[in-house]
Amino acid sequence: MPDYTYKSLNRDVGKAIHRYDMISNGDRILVGVSGGRDSLTLLWVLAERLLRIPISYELIAVYLDPGFDGGYAEDLSRWTEKIGVNLRVESTDYGVLANSDVNLENPCFLCSRLRRKRMFEIADELACNKLALGHHKDDIIETFFLNVCYAGTISTMRPVQSMFGGRFTIIRPLAFVDEPRIKRFSAQNGFPGFINPCPYAKVSQRQALKTFLAGLYRTNRKIKGNIFRSLSRVDQEYLL
């Protein structure tokens, strides 16, 4: 394993976990696994940390199959077993329903809402108190711009977010890790390259915004960091 990529990623995961007090001894953590490099990296890192840190927690990986043809649940299960984590697979029709004619909402919005609701139901069933998601620094920045442009609100995903009166806590340990490092890490470690069968995977509003931001970042390498830091440096005196 290339030392620099691993150390850099592990350092920022540890920084996020400690700064936001994400994980405590005895936590039961449901890890949402989609098959993408982000969630695979998250699960790998959380499993690896268990081998060398002084606190103990339990990982329960869950994959919600969206119901499209060409699924990869069996291959994903074999991969998680290799890193010592069993995968719970649930077959759903969320993706098919969201992309059908009966849905009058944005397909991504409905699919995401249904998946999130089911994740909380499973977490409750399995007595998990934390829900770990693979959102990274770029996701947080992109969500901010999506909310500004399409929802008319100034908000984004938080590294830690309490839900339902504290019954569950969403944690995002990759919050300080940008996407290019995750790509390098997953490639260097031979993570499987599962293909997302959703027809909106490459044509969503998020993907269009990602392309725009990539062009902006190329003009000045400090822009991404400045945007990310600004999300915790809000001067409300200069807002409407």
Pairwise CA distance, residues 153 & 155, whole Å = 6
The total of structural domains in the chain comes to 1
pLDDT in tens, 181-233: 999 999 999 999 888 887 777 667 888 899 999 999 999 999 999 999 999 99
Dig out the tokens for 89 from the structure.
């697979």
As a whole number, the mean pLDDT across the chain is 92
Residue 35's CATH number: 3.40.50.620
pLDDT in tens, 65-97: 998 888 899 999 999 999 999 999 999 988 888
Burial 110-133 (b: 16+ CB within 10 A, else e): bbeebbbeebbebbeeeebbbbbb
Among 83, 64, 60, 81, CA closest to 73: 64
Please tell me the pTM assigned to this model: 0.93
Rg over CA atoms, the chain? 18
Pairwise CA distance, residues 60 & 123, whole Å = 9
Q: Reduced to 3 DSSP states, what percent helix, strand and coil does the chain have, rounded to the nearest 5? A: 50, 10, 40
Residue 207: which domain range? 3-238
Pairing of strands 160-163, 168-171: antiparallel
pLDDT in tens, 122-167: 999 999 999 999 999 999 999 999 999 989 999 999 999 999 999 9
SS3 18: helix
Dig out the tokens for 7 from the structure.
């150390």
SS3 62: strand
Type and span of the H or E element at 61: strand 58-65
Beta bridge partners of 29: 59, 130
pLDDT in tens, 159-171: 999 999 999 999 9
pLDDT score for 94:
87
- CB contact at 8 A, 35 and 63: yes
pLDDT score for 196:
80
What share of the chain in percent tops pLDDT 70? 97
Among 45, 39, 40, CA closest to 17: 45
pLDDT in tens, 26-70: 999 999 999 999 999 999 999 999 988 889 999 999 999 998 888
pLDDT score for 203:
65
Q: Flag whether pLDDT at 180 surpasses 80.
A: yes
Q: Flag whether pLDDT at 1 surpasses 70.
A: no
Pairwise CA distance, residues 184 & 6, whole Å = 10
SS3 for 77-97 is HHHHHHCCCCEEEEECCHHHH
